[in-house]
Amino acid sequence: MANLNIDSKEQRTFDAIVIGSGISGGWSAKELTERGLKTLILERGRDVKHNIDYPTTNMMPWEFKHRGDLTDQEKKDNPVISRCYAFREDAKHFFVKDKEHPYVQDKPFDWIRGYQVGGKSLLWARQTQRWSDFDFEGPARDGFAVDWPIRYKEIAPWYSHVEKFAGISGNKDGLAELPDGEFLPAMEMTCVEKYFSEEVKKNYKNRHVIIGRAAHITDPQPIHIQQGRAQCQQRSLCQRGCPFGGYFSSNSSTLPWAAKTGNLTLRPFSVVHSIIYDEAKGKASGVKVIDANTKEEVEYYAPIIFINAAALNTNLILLNSISNRFPNGLGNDNGLLGKYVAFHNYRARISGEYDGFKDFKTEGRRPNGGYIPRFRNVQKQETDFLRGYAAGFSAGRGSHSDTDGFGTTLKENLLHPELGSWYVGSHMMGETIPKETNFVALDKTLKDEWGIPQLKINVGYDDNDEKMTADYIQQMTEMFEKAGFTNIQSNDSKAAPGLDIHEMGGVRMGNDPKTSLLNKWNQLHACKNVFVTDGASMTSTSTQNPSLTYMAFSARAVDYAVSQSKKKEL
């Protein structure tokens, strides 16, 4: 790559800068470049080109030296990241190494990150659900955080917009609390998932078990073919990167699309230090970058800046953007930057068995599961905790062999496994209440390899979380029992927050600049040419997997930013 730091200022000036190439940054860049803006993406990690840079994607199980397991040394070297379910032999190269990216746990927090082009869009679980007004109205109705400055009807067309491009499979279930989207055919539920769905409908008024809505192409549309993507082959190896482009990632979808416009410049190895604020003009003028390899400082300039660095990273960048106008971080007049961070409670699980459907089984693999939308406190407050939880639900049938003996008997048993019982399982995804006391801040002395202050994370559970966890276990146990499931075992892992990988907030949206950082357009109240459309913008967490909402926010905010720019309002 050309020695960009000696490029002239003109060569380092763009129409727009996007910080981060992950699931939301890719969308910001796609929408900006489509509108004719010369756009620079600054990605702190290395490039990962679709298909070319997926080293493990076509490896067979025996080709992995440790058959998928991590080595003891890897676990010792990466105590945090090795807790993530996807950090295994086939995808570990898409995760950060703990030692290279230190942070401070003021309270225990497992910060799971993937620093490369595409970010965590290579690794995500691809579950996508729309918010409804039951979610947007949550803070106002239940008296926490601040009122969202938007409602469903404003975001609905943008959900449609991103769903159609990304390719979302799902069933139109007709549920007010989980609006239907632009769906490709749904994946199949298994026998026992369908059975449980019927039992729950029979036994409860407002609880539903549906097939997950997932960002997988089950029936490629022209827009997907144009992207160079094909039908998902249900390999369930998504975390390796998919040669079919079967699931949505920046790498397979938005980034190549943006590049096709001819308006994209992608600069990997660009660690963003801060946003440059022009005190005279009263707006941001650009971004200060530390080259990840050479550690040299380079500045890039643009009249429009989108911060999509991922929730806590975005907080870090803004907190580190100090100026006379903003001594406490860009846009931080009210002192709330970094505060009201929340996450999803993923602590509880439940499992069981079912003795029926003995004459049936599943075939193949499925990169998806069943989903139970939130049923607690939807229409009104009903329990001793606020809000509620969604849940995954899956049922499958394994085969097993009697491995008691050894020798020819054991071998015969291994070669002729028998179908076992159906197994069922569920995990909890609970909304957590954002509070001022859950926050991130810059460490006053510790810095990382690039001279940037380390992030202090001070986020923990509260009493609401404890009550909600107990309720999930109690309710799911009852639902399982009523369906005739046996050997029901539940567990509260009491894991630290973070493994949900849905941390959000710190730069929340709101109507009032005194109590929020962003307005209804994801625009910094106090610095109109800076937009935040990743998890940092979330005023509350609700129960949905958030990435679809980040995509919709990004597309909508770009549309607004560009139209405002044309009107010279930025």
Closer of 105 and 234 to another protein (Cβ): 234
CA distance 384 to 462: 13
Our finding on whether 360 is near another protein (CB under 8 A) is yes
Number of residues that bind another protein (CB under 8 A): 44
Closer of 20 and 396 to another protein (Cβ): 396
Our finding on whether 97 is near another protein (CB under 8 A) is no
Q: Which of 56, 234, 511, 564 binds another protein (CB under 8 A)?
A: 234
Closer of 8 and 408 to another protein (Cβ): 408
Burial of 318-338, coded b for 16+ CB within 10 Å and e otherwise, reads: bbbbbbeebebbbbbbbebbb
Minimum Å gap between C-beta 86 and another protein is 18
> Concatenated DSSP letters for 432-498?
----TTSEEEEEEEEE-TTSPEEEEEE----HHHHHHHHHHHHHHHHHHHHTT-EEEEEEE--PPTT
Q: Are 259 and 171 in contact (CB under 8 A)?
A: no
Our finding on whether 402 is near another protein (CB under 8 A) is no
> Concatenated DSSP letters for 521-558?
TSBBTT-TTEEE-SGGG-S---SS-THHHHHHHHHHHH
Our finding on whether 99 is near another protein (CB under 8 A) is no
Q: Which of 140, 176, 225, 419 binds another protein (CB under 8 A)?
A: 419
How are strands ordered across the β-sheet holding 264-267? 264-267, 39-42, 16-19, 304-307, 530-532
Q: Are 543 and 431 in contact (CB under 8 A)?
A: yes
Q: What region does 511 belong to: left with phi over 0, alpha with psi -120 to 50, or beta? A: alpha
How far, in whole angstroms, is CA 291 from its chain's centroid? 26
Q: Are 72 and 93 in contact (CB under 8 A)?
A: no
Q: How far is CA 28 from CA 33, 203, 518, 557, in A?
A: 9, 44, 17, 8
Q: How far is CA 422 from CA 229, 352, 394, 400, 477, in A?
A: 34, 9, 10, 12, 17
Q: Which of 39, 128, 132, 190 binds another protein (CB under 8 A)?
A: 190
Minimum Å gap between C-beta 66 and another protein is 6
> Which helix H or strand E contains 259, and what residues bound it?
helix 255-260
Our finding on whether 61 is near another protein (CB under 8 A) is yes
Our finding on whether 71 is near another protein (CB under 8 A) is yes
The stretch near another protein (CB under 8 A) out of 324-332, 398-406, 429-437, 454-462 is: 398-406
Minimum Å gap between C-beta 349 and another protein is 22
Within 294-353, which residues bind another protein (CB under 8 A)?
A: none
Our finding on whether 447 is near another protein (CB under 8 A) is no
Name the residue type at position 194.
K
* Of 172, 188, 182, nearest in space to 223 by CA: 182
Minimum Å gap between C-beta 363 and another protein is 4
Q: Which of 11, 49, 69, 176 binds another protein (CB under 8 A)?
A: 69
Q: Are 44 and 18 in contact (CB under 8 A)?
A: no
Our finding on whether 52 is near another protein (CB under 8 A) is no
Our finding on whether 107 is near another protein (CB under 8 A) is no
Minimum Å gap between C-beta 294 and another protein is 29
Our finding on whether 235 is near another protein (CB under 8 A) is yes
CA distance 84 to 312: 18
Partners of 272 in the β-ladder: 289
Q: Which of 2, 406, 445, 567 binds another protein (CB under 8 A)?
A: 406
Closer of 21 and 421 to another protein (Cβ): 421
Q: Are 90 and 63 in contact (CB under 8 A)?
A: no
Name the residue type at position 510.
G
Our finding on whether 66 is near another protein (CB under 8 A) is yes
Our finding on whether 262 is near another protein (CB under 8 A) is no
Minimum Å gap between C-beta 154 and another protein is 36
CA distance 484 to 309: 46
Our finding on whether 361 is near another protein (CB under 8 A) is yes
Our finding on whether 191 is near another protein (CB under 8 A) is yes
Minimum Å gap between C-beta 49 and another protein is 21
Q: Which of 223, 410, 470, 495 binds another protein (CB under 8 A)?
A: 410
The stretch near another protein (CB under 8 A) out of 41-49, 133-141, 190-198, 520-528 is: 190-198
The stretch near another protein (CB under 8 A) out of 66-74, 197-205, 461-469, 528-536 is: 66-74
Closer of 167 and 498 to another protein (Cβ): 167
User: Contact residues for another protein (CB under 8 A)?
Assistant: 58, 60-62, 65-67, 69-73, 187-191, 193-194, 218, 232-235, 357-366, 403, 405-408, 410-411, 414-415, 419
